[in-house]
């Protein structure tokens, strides 16, 4: 009986010749993905570090809305990635891939693939997953002009934790596939649908009305004061008084300008119920958008599982 070992088991990463030139085509292709236009054209994104890569590869096909799993197109490593406690995990990851996708790079060149001061020694180009949107969502998160990548990543991470059906990004929101957003989201970006919207009234509002979603907005300027509010406009209420158990959409505005004018117009005509998170007096002007949105998602989760 002949024992036939899979070729992947024979792959030794350190047997690859290292790339030592910044002009190498493989390195240039990876570096190009730091630019948004290159990411949009190719559908590829850059992921950094073993933890996020492991989480991304383990997305799995069990999600009912997942049409295509994320695929590693190429992966670059420096020898230092194979050292220390994570080295065995890196070797295991590399061993699961076709050796033609693996690139060994001199550690001095890894800085070209990252925007952090101390770059990771493992970077991969990964094809974004493809999703279909559920016909009957329970909760959708809308990001309205959040320009800070850290806030966007935080909200994506919270959305995964609290079972949000999908995230919709209105214009002027930071690219959720940028390296800063991906790092802040800690791999959650690949675990739920993320939609880029052309506009609130022309795209997102129509879609949400078709699905009969109740609309809520986190309004940092809301205090419950009824002065100077339109006749049709709903008065802002404390988030803990809102019934979030029905199919709903929560809109979170960016800092420092808050909700965009098209969304505010929907508040003025009574289409959206504004919410606010109560705070102790004289503690802060407003909550960070990532914190405020996470509180609203956590409150919805509490109501669904522990009662309204």
* Percent residues over pLDDT 90 in the chain: 77
pLDDT above 70 for 23: yes
Written as six digits, the tokens of 114 are 């990252």
223 pLDDT higher than 80: no
Six token digits for residue 98: 């076709």
Extract the tokens encoding 103: 């690139």
Query: What's the CA gap between 51 and 72, in Å, rounded?
Result: 15
Contact yes or no for 184/150 (Cβ under 8 A)? yes
Mean pLDDT for 147-165 is 97
Which CATH superfamily is 7-131 part of?
Ribosomal protein L30/S12 (3.30.1330.30)
Average pLDDT over residues 200-205: 94
Residue 287 banded pLDDT, cuts 50, 70, 90: confident
Q: Identical fold at 7-131 and 139-306?
A: no
Per-residue pLDDT at 7 exceeds 60: no
Q: Predicted confidence band at 61 (pLDDT cuts at 50, 70, 90)?
A: low
Looking at the predicted structure, is the pLDDT value of residue 221 above 90? Answer: no
Relative to beta strand 130-131, strand 166-169 is unpaired
Query: What's the chain's average pLDDT?
Result: 89
pLDDT at 284: 60
In this prediction, what percent of the chain has a pLDDT beyond 70?
Answer: 89
Mean pLDDT of 80-102: 92
The mean per-residue pLDDT over the stretch 197-202 comes to: 95
In this model, does residue 110 exceed pLDDT 70?
A: yes
160: which residues sit within 8 A by CB, 6+ positions away?
188, 191, 192
pLDDT beyond 70 at 227: no
pLDDT band at 56 (very low <50, low <70, confident <90, very high): confident
Average pLDDT over residues 107-122: 94
Burial class (CB in 10 A: 0-12, 13-18, 19+), 274: buried
> What pLDDT was estimated at residue 222?
55
CATH homologous superfamily for the domain 139-306: SPOUT methyltransferase, trefoil knot domain (3.40.1280.10)
Distance, in Å, from the CA atom of 175 to the CA atom of 195, rounded to the nearest integer, reads 11
Q: What is the pLDDT of residue 283?
A: 64
Q: Higher-confidence residue: 118 or 255?
A: 118
With a cut of 90, say whether residue 111 has pLDDT above it.
yes
* In the predicted structure, residue 230 carries a pLDDT above the cut 80: no
CA gap 107, 213 in Å, rounded: 50
Residue 104 has phi, psi (to 5 degrees) of: -95, 125
Sheet containing 102-104, strands listed edge to edge, beginning at the edge strand earlier in sequence: 44-48, 122-127, 71-77, 102-104
Beta bridge partners of 168: 142, 195
Tell me the pLDDT band of 55, cut-offs 50, 70 and 90: confident
The residue ranking higher by pLDDT, 126 or 235, is: 126
Confidence bin at 57 (pLDDT 50/70/90): confident
HEC readout, 89-156 = HHHHHHHCCCHHHEEEECHHHHHHHCCCCCCCCEEEEEECCEECCCCCCCEEEEEECCCCHHHHHHHH
Locate the domains of the chain by residue range: 7-131, 139-306
Least confident of 89-98, 169-178, 243-252: 89-98
- pLDDT of residue 146 exceeding 50: yes
């Amino acid at each position: 009986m002949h024992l036939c070992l899979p070729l992947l088991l024979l792959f030794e990463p350190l047997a690859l010749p290292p790339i030592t030139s910044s002009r190498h085509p493989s390195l240039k292709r990876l570096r190009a993905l730091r630019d948004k236009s290159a990411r949009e054209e190719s559908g590829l994104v850059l992921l950094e570090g073993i933890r996020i890569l492991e989480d991304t590869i383990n997305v799995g096909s069990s999600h009912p809305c997942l049409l295509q799993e994320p695929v590693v197109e190429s992966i670059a490593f420096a020898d230092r990635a194979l050292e220390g406690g994570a080295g065995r995990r890196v070797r295991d990851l590399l061993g699961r891939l076709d050796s033609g996708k693996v690139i060994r790079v001199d550690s001095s060149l890894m800085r070209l693939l990252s925007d952090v001061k101390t770059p990771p020694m493992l970077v991969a180009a990964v094809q974004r997953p493809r999703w279909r949107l559920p016909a009957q969502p329970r909760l959708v998160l809308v990001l309205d002009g959040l320009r800070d990548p850290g806030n966007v990543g935080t909200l994506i991470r919270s959305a995964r934790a609290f079972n949000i059906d999908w995230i919709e990004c209105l214009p002027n929101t930071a690219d959720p596939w940028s390296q800063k957003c991906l790092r802040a989201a800690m791999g959650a970006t690949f675990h739920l649908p993320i939609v880029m919207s052309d506009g609130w009234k022309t795209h997102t509002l129509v879609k949400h009305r078709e699905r009969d979603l109740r609309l809520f907005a986190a309004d940092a300027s809301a205090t419950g004061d009824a002065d100077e509010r339109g006749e049709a406009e709903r008065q802002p209420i404390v988030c803990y008084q809102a019934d979030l158990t029905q199919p709903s959409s929560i809109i979170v505005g960016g800092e420092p300008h808050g909700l965009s004018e098209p969304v505010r117009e929907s508040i003025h005509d009574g289409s959206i119920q504004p919410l606010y998170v109560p705070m102790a007096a004289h503690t802060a002007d407003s909550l960070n958008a990532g914190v405020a949105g996470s509180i609203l998602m956590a409150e919805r989760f509490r109501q669904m599982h522990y009662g309204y």
